Structures are given as structure tokens and as C-alpha cells.
Amino acid sequence: MQLDSHQHFWKFDPVRDAWIDSSMKVIQRDFLPKDLKPELDKAGIDGCIAVQADQSEMETNFLLQIANANPWVKKVVAWVDFFSADVESKLEVYQSEKKLAGFRVILQALPPEAMEDKFFLNSISLLEKYGFTYDILIYPKHLEKAFHFAKKFPKQPFVIDHLAKPDIKNGEFEFWSQGMKAMALLPNVSCKVSGMVTEANWYHWEKEQFYPYLDFIAESFGTKRLMYGSDWPVCLLAATYQEVYAIPANFFKNFSSNEKAAIFGENAARFYKI
């Protein structure tokens, strides 16, 4: 089974979705299952994981409704307030949702020190009890704090979204690679091969720009801890779905069939318990 481990759905709201500014007109509209399914079919992908874009329980319910109505939307990475004292009551409720795999907080919008917050750490500590995963959405500047917080929870499954968003546009590599090398030392941390095109120049990128980053994460994490993700529809700012898929497909083409099966589906299925 081939899987897209990272994509979004939304009904565009200019107030709620204010992060989608005037430079992003191409994604200032609704993106729903009917828009994504033809792209998955064309790429030969059997299913996907829908990831939260808005930090609200309304978003969580919206994604669960979509997943329950569309069997090919295999799992949901939802939102709950990890900086709240009563998060466990929410986790107890969500435990009954069979398609809810885990959670994500938009840490990239917060200072790195947010990962030292006592409520945040307490929330992370509860996830293993309820069998939930956690997606780490950060920039390279967050990697040092992310390493220390992830290290505190050796049995908790974590995955880094979008390679931690290296500054591909400006060719920054050294600082990012040092942080990612440390993260890769933690065996419970995986990495999504996703979100790269929007970290490059949206209008002028070449697939070879991404290869040093892919080389590094393949060597550091190994093929059992990498999972393909499109970051659709955000990726449309810089590339079509098929162009995004072609980057890792081409890079990993000479890897073994077992390794490719792992990166393009099996690892995500195991991680998200599909």
C-alpha cells in the first residue's frame, strides 16, 4: 500500500486562514477529497493521512468527518490544546475515534522554549498511554530544544514534518544537518520526506537542489524511518502534486524495492497504525 503521509483539507476562511496571505492566492480556496483523489490515483497512491492546519477542535472534527466518509483517508493527525491543564480529558474522548492517529501543535510559530513548557511536556507524556503519535512541526532553530524534549520520551513515536524546514532557497545546510543528525540518534523519531518545494524558491527550483538534503536524511535516519508526504495543497505554491511526488520518486529510484516500499507506504502505515 502506497501512502501520502502528509496532506491537508480545508474550506477556506480568510479570517481563520489569515496565514494564507496575498502571496498565496493559488491556495486561497477550498481543498477537499474530490480535489485530492485524482492526484493520488495518478501517482498510484492508495491512501493518505490528513493533518491539521487550523488549531481548533472544530478542525479535528472536520478532518474526522472527512476520514470517516472516505476510506482512502486512512488516518488523521489532529489538534488539541497541549498547553492546557485538562488535556487528558480530551485524549480520553478522542481515544474512541478509530481514525485519529495522533496530534500536532504548530510549534514553528512559537519560540523554541515552548517545548520546555510544563503543560506541553505533560501532554506529550500522556500520548503513549492512549496510543497516539506526535508530529513535530518546527524550523531548524527549534531542533536543539526538540532533541531534548523528544529524548525525555523514548517510547513515544515522533515524526519530524518537512525535514524540519531547512532553508533550501538559500542553500543553508550545516546548522540544519547538525540538528537533524542529533534527532536521528533517537530511535523513536522518524522524518517525513515532505514540504521541500515551499522551502525553495517557489518559482525557480531544480530537483537537484533537494538531493543533498535527501542524501543526508536517508543516511541519518535510514529507510525504515522515512515516509513520503506531499504537503498538498500547500505544495501548490511551488509545484503540482505530480512534481512533488516525482522528486523523491526519482531520488530513491535506485534503492531496493523493499526500501522504496517502506518509504512510500509501509513506514507510514506502521507509524500511524494503519
The whole model's pTM is what? 0.96
Closest to 136 measured CA to CA, from 199, 198, 190: 190
Matching residue, cell 481514525? 99
Q: In the chain, what percentage of residues exceed pLDDT 70?
A: 100
Architecture of domain 3-271: Alpha-Beta Barrel (3.20)
Query: Helix H segments across 166-274?
Result: 174-184, 211-221, 241-251, 257-261, 267-271
Measured distance CA(255)–CA(189) in Å, rounded = 22
Average pLDDT (180-193) is 98
Three-state SS at 172: coil
Alpha carbon distances (Å) from 60 to 53, 73, 211, 234: 9, 14, 34, 19
The per-residue pLDDT for range 19-38, each reduced to its tens digit, is 888 888 898 999 999 999 99
Q: Which residue has the cell 503519535?
A: 133
Sign of the dihedral through C-alpha 37, 28, 230, 134: negative
CA distance 150 to 124: 9
